[in-house]
Structure 1
Amino acid sequence: MTEAVLGIDVGTSSVKVIAVNRNGEVIQTVSEPLKIIQHQSGFNEQCPNDWFEATQNCIKQLLKTHEMRHIDVKGLSLSGQMHSLVILDHAHQPIRDAILWNDTRSTIQCEQIKKELGEYVLSNPVLEGFTLTKLLWIKDNEPHNWEKIKVFLLPKDYVRFKLTGKINMEYSDASSTLLLNPKEKAWSKEIGGRFGLRDIYPDLVASHDFVGYVDTSIANDLGFNNDVAVFAGGGDNACGALGAGITQVDETLCSIGTSGVILACENSQDAVYKQNIHYFNHAMDQMSYVMGVTLAAGDSLHWLRNKVLSDLSFEQIIDLASQSPLGSRGLLFTPYLSGERTPHGDASIRGSFIGLSMLHNNSDIARSVIEGITFSLYESIKYLRESGKDIRHIVSIGGGAKSDFWLQLQADTFDAKISRLKYEEGPCMGAAILAVYGLGWYNNFEKIIQKFICYEKSFVPHQQYHQLYMKYFEVYEGVYRQTQPLTQRLLKLSEGSK
């Protein structure tokens, strides 16, 4: 029988499961969509049990496929959306729906942390997305729930707990909470104590650590025919980087999903970054990474499709965009539909079109959205380069990597060679690699990367286009400064009219 592992990604818009054999070949892929609960503007939640139910459904569907008939699943690992808060009571039941990474309700708690500890905590900016701010929001606004908390987890940790009955968190996800000391790889209970956190911390493990087997009753229900080893896994960005072969210093990833990420590997524990650049542990020992985040990257494209061009597919929208000239005939879009992280760290800024006229058509609107997303990501590249990172080659994954047009646009904007993977499974592949390493099929990550990762196509920048994009980018940078005070006034007016 052929042996395989499963890589599971607990995302924001869906759960995805892939089966991968010893040679890094993807045998089968299954996904199931997820719903986001939005009680009001800025509030984004999901039911934790929806993640587990979707995971179960995906595994069952996958194991029933023709391709999996003679496959022996030996192990699995998980990746998941980072920062999102799950709180469990003493019976290990969710106390409330999870507060997601893109939830922006905790501005007051951010200001409280900044007043106490400064703008940066444990090498990271204090932003609404991070887990500590959500815990403090619960403490301030839901004291009845606060008193019930036995332990807090992140999404993939909850799904792993449901599979194994074991509660823990690994370092890459823990480093995104504002509560993990990245140098000591230990919870900073001193920081937690400053804000009244009890001992609600899960035990810490490495991403490749074996944490248990799939519970027997669950394994039987899912259709596994033997013991399946479960390995801790990693945050989606760490796993996305690992699954793209981004494992060495200065190797760089561009990932466009719901959010957008520019990520570069780092092995210095003393590096200092500002401009709302994040600094987290990688899924591999002794390696970290820095990244900038665009909150609504792919989400901006989803908005365009759902609200403006609803009769078109994403592929048709990108094809439409390619029919507009560079610069979208003087139309600029800022992708601040959910606020922005890097470089502004502003939860209340909102998006805009600048330069719209009677001459503009749907092609120009579509291209301006794609260019605006790319300009936002370039801001992170610009700041990382100014901080000393040598960014010349970028591996692109996610929605933006499916289009030659958008990849060339990235190359011309970023002034870097852009490569697309032959097999692009994102964080799922990184999770699968962690299971492969945990099972001991290969004795180091380098050998796995060499076997599993290869490029399909690369795009080199055209300097004349890069120079043109930089002229538009200069205007783009000014849009935030000019619209920020106007947006504040608009938000106050709209809140007053409710």
Structure 2
Amino acid sequence: MSYVIGIDLGTGSVKGLVVNKKGTVVLEASEPYPLFHIKKGYSEQDPADWLHATETILKKLIAKMPELKEQLQGISFSGQMHSLVLLDEKQQPLRNAILWNDVRTTKQCEEITQKLGKRLVEKTKNLALEGFTLPKILWIKEHEPEIWAKAKSFLLPKDYLAFWLTGNQQMECSDAAGTLLLNVMDKQWDMEIAETFGIDRTLLPSLVSSLENIGTVNPVLAKELGLKTDVCVFAGGADNACAALGAGIVEENRGMCSIGTSGVFLSYEGEQEKDYQGKLHFFNHVIPNTYYSMGVTLAAGQSLTWFRETFAKEQTFEALVASSKNSTIGANGLLFTPYIMGERTPHVDSKIRGSFIGMDASHVISDFTRAVLEGITFSLKDSQVMMQTIAGKQFQEIVSVGGGAKSELWLQIQADIFNAKIVTLKTEQGPGLGAAMIAAVGVGWFATVKECAKQFVVYDKEYFPNEEAVASYQAVYELYREIYNQTKTLCHRLNEALN
């Protein structure tokens, strides 16, 4: 028997999956590491913690499956996007990594937008947002010049992990697409952007595809792990791209709805350029020469968590969500916008705030809960509508993953609001499975990623839209769409008055 390992380097932990040729996850392990919030809006991690945690899970997996010492063929990665790892001349990190959810770089985003104008979206397909890597680089240049003076290269988290594992340094394109330094269509570093901001070509690592063999596990680590054969390492991909692959989003008109702390509505885009004018993210996929688009709701599952902890702490999530069946479509005339952390898609607005609209004395906890579930789903529908309107997409099927896939009631709400068949996964393994699939194709188990998906991705339940419910939800959704413009000025003025 032969195996591959998919490693998912997340924000809170690293996870490793051992997968066989049938696509069965035969073993998994995870290891947490800390986040550092040294100031409001700051979010950092020590890259050394990633390495220690990854080494720990590899040792755990091999200890439980000693046959891996001889039968492990390949390893690949999924990783958190955008986070900046600056390296010195000895290829050691100069400081903690600044993470994707760090929001200290508003000024730098404004500078990028002002200097590049329309060329930014033409080249990178994305707007300058705090999460991206280039604003973090510019922040270091301005606020930590002594650190910047020592910088010789930069990497993203999973590429730094790959460097540690193999000794070879490179950056993979689906991740590089989130730096604001990559020309997404050309798949090359954009030197006009780099030179505009004083970034020397020598700082930019070589670019590789997701399936590229970037080396083997280095001899010192291989000996420490007890590996008796050379294990090939493949470049891997960005977490959202790997999650899409692990959910089988490998064909046109298939989407993915992922509801975690944040929410993502993602679509496979094939080989053609789509001009979303920066209103949606447009990135290189891990599938060669293809792309994916996605919209983001900043507080999806977080809205439900906030609501429960504030108003229904004594109830479990399952009981709270189930209680919303006692309400009706439209929550008996109650609307909720999940803007409690600002919003990303379609409203790039850090100052907008959430609302309950339509409250009256008849409303009870089940109405509020249903309004939250519906509001989160409406927010994700905003991204679906843009894909349909701008690119003419027609979603025949949407794969639901994350917290939104754990409730049959919520899954049916998704089917009715999205007006599409919703399917769930038999076993949801997220980005780690996508990373394992890249390794499986890399070692030659399958000729293409799509062939691998047919074997590895197994679907479970299906939920179909109800025509009457679809019509009712469409009417409610049209009202929901008015809330942003009706509350924007008030929210901004309130924010200014209290800060």
2:358 paired with 1:348: no
Equivalent residue of 2:461, what SS? strand
Q: Which residue of the other structure, out of 189, 192, 196, is the alignment partner of 2:191?
A: 189
Superposed CA deviations along residues 72-128 of structure 1, whole A, max 9, x for unmatched, are: 322111111112222222222222222222222222222212212225422222222
User: TM-score, normalised to structure 1's length?
Assistant: 0.92
Equivalences for residues 168-179 of structure 1 within 5 A: 168-179=170-181
2:468 paired with 1:464: yes
Q: CA deviation at 1:310?
A: 4.1
The change in CA–CA distance for 1:329 and 1:189 in structure 2 (over 3 A counts) is same
Question: Which amino acid in structure 1 is aligned with residue 235 of structure 2?
Answer: A
CA distance in 2, matches of 1:4, 1:393: 31
Equivalences for residues 219-258 of structure 1 within 5 A: 219-222=222-225, 224-258=227-261
8 Å contact 1:10–1:81 — kept in the other structure? Answer: yes
The change in CA–CA distance for 1:368 and 1:432 in structure 2 (over 3 A counts) is same
8 Å contact 2:126–2:278 — kept in the other structure? Answer: no
Q: Which residue of the other structure, out of 254, 262, 267, is the alignment partner of 1:264?
A: 267
Which residue matches 1:132? 134
Which residue matches 2:17? 18
Which residue matches 1:487? 491
Q: CA deviation at 1:172?
A: 0.5
Equivalent residue of 1:428, what SS? helix
Q: Which residue of the other structure, out of 459, 477, 483, is the alignment partner of 2:481?
A: 477
Q: CA deviation at 1:377?
A: 0.6
Superposed CA deviations along residues 431-464 of structure 1, whole A, max 9, x for unmatched, are: 0010001101112223212211221111111121
The change in CA–CA distance for 1:415 and 1:491 in structure 2 (over 3 A counts) is same
Which residue matches 2:291? 288
Equivalences for residues 34-113 of structure 1 within 5 A: 34-65=33-64, 68-71=65-68, 72-113=71-112
The change in CA–CA distance for 1:28 and 1:113 in structure 2 (over 3 A counts) is same
Which residue matches 2:168? 166
Superposed CA deviations along residues 163-189 of structure 1, whole A, max 9, x for unmatched, are: 222221111111111111122211002
Q: CA deviation at 1:334?
A: 2.0
2:433 paired with 1:429: yes
For structure 2, the 5+ residue unaligned runs are none
Q: CA deviation at 1:313?
A: 4.0
8 Å contact 1:6–1:77 — kept in the other structure? Answer: yes
Q: CA deviation at 1:205?
A: 0.8
CA distance in 1, matches of 2:279, 2:414: 22
RMSD: 2.2
More displaced 10-residue stretch of structure 1: 209-218 or 311-320: 311-320
Superposed CA deviations along residues 31-69 of structure 1, whole A, max 9, x for unmatched, are: 33444333344333222223223323333333333xx35
Count of residue pairs brought into register by the alignment: 492
More displaced 10-residue stretch of structure 1: 275-284 or 265-274: 265-274
Q: CA deviation at 1:7?
A: 0.9
The change in CA–CA distance for 1:99 and 1:353 in structure 2 (over 3 A counts) is farther
Superposed CA deviations along residues 268-308 of structure 1, whole A, max 9, x for unmatched, are: 44421136211111101121111111122233334345555
More displaced 10-residue stretch of structure 1: 325-334 or 341-350: 325-334
2:5 paired with 1:6: yes
Superposed CA deviations along residues 8-34 of structure 1, whole A, max 9, x for unmatched, are: 111223322211101111112223344
CA distance in 2, matches of 1:369, 1:224: 50
8 Å contact 1:322–1:405 — kept in the other structure? Answer: yes
Q: CA deviation at 1:220?
A: 4.0
CA distance in 2, matches of 1:36, 1:471: 43
The change in CA–CA distance for 1:475 and 1:58 in structure 2 (over 3 A counts) is farther
8 Å contact 1:12–1:258 — kept in the other structure? Answer: no
Equivalent residue of 1:84, what SS? coil
More displaced 10-residue stretch of structure 1: 297-306 or 419-428: 297-306
Question: Which amino acid in structure 2 is aligned with residue 84 of structure 1?
Answer: S
CA distance in 1, matches of 2:143, 2:411: 44
Question: Which amino acid in structure 2 is aligned with residue 369 of structure 1?
Answer: V
Which residue matches 2:387? 384
2:444 paired with 1:440: yes
User: TM-score, normalised to structure 2's length?
Assistant: 0.92
For structure 1, the 5+ residue unaligned runs are none
The change in CA–CA distance for 1:190 and 1:32 in structure 2 (over 3 A counts) is same
8 Å contact 2:253–2:396 — kept in the other structure? Answer: no
Equivalent residue of 1:469, what SS? helix
The change in CA–CA distance for 1:82 and 1:482 in structure 2 (over 3 A counts) is same
Question: Which amino acid in structure 1 is aligned with residue 231 of structure 2?
Answer: V
CA distance in 2, matches of 1:237, 1:354: 33
Which runs of at least 4 in structure 1 moved beyond 6 Å after TM superposition? none
8 Å contact 1:333–1:368 — kept in the other structure? Answer: yes
The change in CA–CA distance for 1:422 and 1:44 in structure 2 (over 3 A counts) is same
More displaced 10-residue stretch of structure 1: 221-230 or 154-163: 221-230
2:404 paired with 1:400: yes
The change in CA–CA distance for 1:479 and 1:222 in structure 2 (over 3 A counts) is farther
The change in CA–CA distance for 1:14 and 1:355 in structure 2 (over 3 A counts) is farther
Equivalent residue of 1:178, what SS? coil
8 Å contact 2:253–2:397 — kept in the other structure? Answer: no
Question: Which amino acid in structure 2 is aligned with residue 416 of structure 1?
Answer: A
Which residue matches 1:208? 211
The change in CA–CA distance for 1:476 and 1:58 in structure 2 (over 3 A counts) is farther
The change in CA–CA distance for 1:166 and 1:357 in structure 2 (over 3 A counts) is farther
CA distance in 2, matches of 1:323, 1:38: 41
Superposed CA deviations along residues 321-347 of structure 1, whole A, max 9, x for unmatched, are: 444333233333322233221111123
CA distance in 2, matches of 1:35, 1:42: 16
The change in CA–CA distance for 1:43 and 1:407 in structure 2 (over 3 A counts) is same
Which residue matches 1:324? 327
